[in-house]
A and B are shown apart, each in its own frame.
Chain A
Amino acid sequence: MTSASAAADNKFYQRKGLLGTLGRDGLLQVILIANTIIMLGPIVIMVFSAFKTTPEIFKSPYALPDFGQIANFMKIWTQTNFLRYLMNSFIVTGSSMVLILTLGTMAAYALGRYQFKGSTFILMFFLAGLTLPLKLAIIPLFMLLRDLQILNNQLSLIFVYTAMGLPTTIFIMTGFIRTLPNELEDAARMDGASEARIMWSIMLPLVRPAMVIAAIQNVVPIWNDFFFPLVFIQNDDLKTLPQGLTTFMGEYTTDWGVLFAGLTLSAAPIILIYIILSKQFIAGMTSGAVK
């Protein structure tokens, strides 16, 4: 929000006089604080419980734990495939992101920078899948990946995530690329630079902000996805973190300390990145829905 409009807002709200304003703002403040407690409470309990033994969790769920007691985490580290699941999630998410950003930028550049026959149709084609959930096409997708012989292979996930990420990426980036000025490009073209050189050296550096938005919009759902690994991956060595978590939760049903430690460890990477980059995350994840 700009400071000018913030100031206008404030003026707007001051009309009821000091008391009235305090009353309403007080109520809103109470709503916000209550909500924040509800939002953070479960996460705090999860983290606290990760440092407790099972009896401690049952006896005093809210008590501050001894953070030095890391037996639960040691157990996960040494006795489960947790590290492997984490690695697999990195591999799948990382590869998908590289492909999404490369292919997405290519398509968006072609659609946003050049006029050619069929360009509107191609853009519509890319955007067609935006609201239809691909989950419901899982049967044909399963058969297709089987025929390509990449079931039970990380490529299946990478290809499907890439395809799923492209529509939003192309949507965001085409719009952005169209707003960039022509002058630099025209000047370079006069100097005899090739189209490829113009794209690489002149336009790409300018496109970076849109790439960041597109990256954030895709990285969270891909990192967190559970459904496609559930269908495509059987081999325990290839499981991603959310999928591996189900295996793990099934093994330790009575050891709640370890269960909470597993949840905490799984949530930690994305929570940490979110807290550091909350502004970019929020902008990135809501940008597709904000007009």
Chain B
Amino acid sequence: MPQLRMTGRGLWITMLIVPPLAFVALFIVYPILSAFAYSFFDWQGLKRGDFVGLENFHTVLFVEPYRSWTMNAFKNNVIVFFALMVLQNGLGFILAYALWRELPGARFHRIAVFLPVVLSTIIVAYLFKLFYHPMFGVVNLTLKSVGLGWLAQPWLGQSGTALWSIIVAQAWHMVGFPTLVFLAGMQRIPGEILDAVRMETESEWVKITKVVWPLVAPSATIVFTLLFVGAFNWFELPYIMAGLDGSPFGSSDVLGLYFYRTAFGNVSAGQQDFGLGSALAVLIFVFIAVVAAVITTRLRAREIQI
């Protein structure tokens, strides 16, 4: 009888595991692998064309005007990443540190800092688009009412400020996430360690850099990786606030927009190029995977040293 029992158990496990496996295989693994395959074909419109080897990659990396578009979007993504590193994760760390002290009202402040995170990105995008309106937006109205009218700008309408305005909206939207992840990390620091440090040093700065920061390093690794992945496939906020071309003049173009535009650009006019789009997707994929792996292993190594 044990044999039969095993078979029954095997069948039971199979029944449990196959349906979820099928979903992930069909809708995640298969499309991701296919993106690699697609990138080797000339594929304009909905019908697949010839196998062209690496030509799509060559086009997006070396042939004008694609080369300039790729470089411009990539450069902007690098700006986005570093700006959010400071604005979102940097402020997040400071806010976490402030919340950790359990000052009066800490509970309320914690609820407030996370509130924008639960909002839909589309709501945030339109809200800030209205706030940035050159004539009637609350940003310029406020500047005028406090006598700083000369600072009023068409925030989203000029090359110098558009990308930064969108970055600020993104930081507002998401700063609560690193805050609460860092806070959770700080709350797990044992009281004995803090007591021991108290004997050693007077300086708040030393305490933060030598004790708190190293001890929240596991949280930091995750927060940095997520920010990196998020920054390099950023799409919704620039799509609504800057439009599909990254207006004005591509100054807020990012890889997510550029990829989407190449793939689905103008469907009705038949201007969609799945081959070039897939090549772009593969390049972004590989870039994200490699850098995320490097971030994770480098920071992990640091965690262990300490």
Contact = CB atoms under 8 A, between A and B. Distances in A.
A136 interface: yes
Contact of B26 (A4, A163, A195, A242): A163
Interface string B91-104: 10011011111111
A103 interface: yes
A19 interface: no
B172 interface: yes
A25 B233 CA distance: 39
A135 B194 contact: no
Contact of B20 (A1, A29, A107, A133): A107
B27 A9 contact: no
A8 to B, nearest CB: 2
B122 to A, nearest CB: 4
Which of A13, A111, A224, A259 has most chain B Cβ within 10 Å?
A224
B40 interface: no
B264 A231 contact: yes
B115 interface: yes
Contacts of A160: 27
Contact of A245 (B17, B19, B118, B123): B123
Contact of B126 (A7, A8, A12, A245): A245
Interface of A: 1, 4-9, 11-13, 15-16, 24-25, 28-29, 31-33, 35-36, 38-40, 42-43, 45-46, 57-58, 61, 99, 103-104, 106-107, 109-111, 114, 116, 122, 125-126, 128-129, 131-141, 143-144, 146, 159-160, 162-164, 166-167, 170, 195-196, 220, 223-224, 226-227, 231, 241-243, 245-246, 249, 256, 259-260, 263, 266-267, 270-271, 274-275, 278, 281-282, 285-286, 289-291
Q: Which 9 residue pairs spanning A and B have beta carbons closest together? A: A8-B191, A163-B27, A140-B34, A224-B120, A137-B31, A110-B16, A103-B20, A107-B20, A140-B31
Given A32-B106, A267-B120, 9 more contacts: A8-B191, A12-B198, A28-B103, A107-B21, A126-B20, A136-B259, A139-B38, A267-B123, A281-B118
